[in-house]
Chains A and B, each alone.
Chain A
Amino acid sequence: MINVIWLGMIVIGFVFAAVNGRMDAFTAAVFDGAKNGVTVSFGLISVLVFWLGVMKVAEDAGLLRVIAKLLGPVVRFLFPDVPKGHPAIGYILSNMSANLLGLGNAATPMGIKAMQELQTLNPEKDTATPAMCTLLALNTASITLIPATLIAIRLNYGSADPADIVGTTLAATFVATLAAIFADRLCRRMLLLRRPPGPPAENRSPARGGSAPPHYQVKG
């Protein structure tokens, strides 16, 4: 999918450049893009190093655990079919807490551990359980309190107030997360109503922005 998009951009660019007689600009653009990529990465080093350092301090101070305490009831509501006190709950909480703090590289290992724990409750080992789908829905919508990387980039380009997007990000992420939970619940209901042995039949999904593809193929 990414391959097609990337290739498409380059090939279409090449064709347009040829038709418009902009071959010089095309060649220049290749080297410009490459130079920009490296320059941007180097500009990011300083701020990324700093932010991840601060976030690690937050993690070691147990801020993750504080958030985990607050989120307990939420997890019980979202994952009704995971037994109380099952190790999966702890990892799900850590994963959500890390997401909240914008610790993407802490969230992923926790999420994987949570998946492995949920797999122990799974009767069909190659098919996702509703709880797994819920965990994924939460992670793709990613409830973020502090978009650290974006703040860093804006700081880097001389923003007057790099953190002024925190509010808008919070609002958007909240709406996206609600949509994810709602859609997940709806799909879960449909699955319970008609328990087919295979994947659920294509039904009227809530996504009216183009019908959603089946899980094994992705269209752009």
Chain B
Amino acid sequence: MIAFIPLYAYARKVPVYESFVDGAKEGFGTAIGIIPHLVGMMVAISVFRASGALDFLMGYISPLLRSLGVPPEVMPLGLLRPLTGTGSLAYATELIRVHGPDSLIGRIASTIQGSTDTTLYVLTVYFGAVGIRNGRYALKVGLFSDLVGFVAAIAVCLLVFG
């Protein structure tokens, strides 16, 4: 992957180094740009957890999820995913940090985060750009596919890594 793309590009006469640097510039901006979001979300998440509120909430849902073989920790991610891309990325990163990238939870979190997009954000940006106020059934369809994707991500991970 890392070797193939530059080789292919070079064969197509692309100035690979300059092109790489050009794209890499964006990476820094993206990483810096998410600091405020990450700080905001991580504070909220860490406060929610430290106060015992999360344990209280999970205490109710856990038995049900556990009987299905689903780690309850991934539930909040399913709620965050359609609402906020950076927020859910922060939450997924936190799960990976705490449980490890190769744990079942880490893998489920990665799969959920990677398999759908932030419906609310996409809708706002795309319709906002052309001044659409009535989005008809677009949000319904988006949230429905988020739900299906969430269930599918968990099911596939349990099958493959469980």
Contacts and interface: CB of A to CB of B under 8 A. Distances in A.
Interface of A: 1-2, 5-6, 9-10, 12-17, 20, 22, 25-26, 28-30, 32-34, 36-38, 40-42, 44-45, 48-63, 104-105, 108, 111-112, 115-116, 118-119, 125-128, 130, 132-133, 135-137, 139-142, 144, 146-147, 149-150, 153-154, 157-165, 167-169, 171-173, 175-177, 179-180, 183-184, 187, 191, 198-200, 205-207, 209, 212-213, 215, 218, 220
Contacts of A207: 140, 143-144, 147
Nearest to A198: B134
Contact of A218 (B31, B139, B145): B139
B148 A49 contact: no
Highest count of chain A CB atoms <10 Å: which of B83, B117, B120, B137: B137
Interface of B: 1-2, 5-6, 8-9, 12, 14, 16, 19-24, 26-28, 30-32, 34-35, 38-53, 56, 79-80, 82-84, 87, 89-90, 92-94, 96-97, 100-102, 106-107, 110-120, 122-123, 125-127, 129-149, 152-153, 156-157, 160-161
A38 B35 contact: yes
Nearest to A136: B138
Interface secondary structure of A, over-half rule: helix
A29 B21 CA distance: 38
Contact of B27 (A52, A58, A59): A52
B137 A36 contact: no
Contacts of A172: 111-112, 114-116, 149, 152-153, 156
Contacts of A32: 46, 50
Contacts of B20: 53-54, 56-57
6 contacts: A5-B79, A40-B97, A108-B125, A200-B136, A207-B144, A212-B143
A182 B9 CA distance: 37
B132 A126 contact: yes
Highest count of chain B CB atoms <10 Å: which of A119, A125, A140, A205: A140
B142 A60 contact: no
B31 A38 contact: no
A215 B52 contact: no
Nearest to A202: B140
B117 A154 contact: no
B101 A187 contact: no
B42 A112 contact: no
B111 A168 contact: yes
B136 A168 contact: no
B43 A33 contact: yes
B136 A126 contact: no
Contacts of B90: 37, 40
Contacts of B49: 29
Highest count of chain B CB atoms <10 Å: which of A16, A20, A22, A56: A56
A49 B24 contact: yes
A196 B48 CA distance: 46
Nearest to B11: A61
Given A147-B110, A168-B160, A180-B142, 9 more contacts: A9-B45, A12-B48, A37-B38, A38-B38, A128-B135, A136-B141, A153-B93, A153-B110, A179-B145
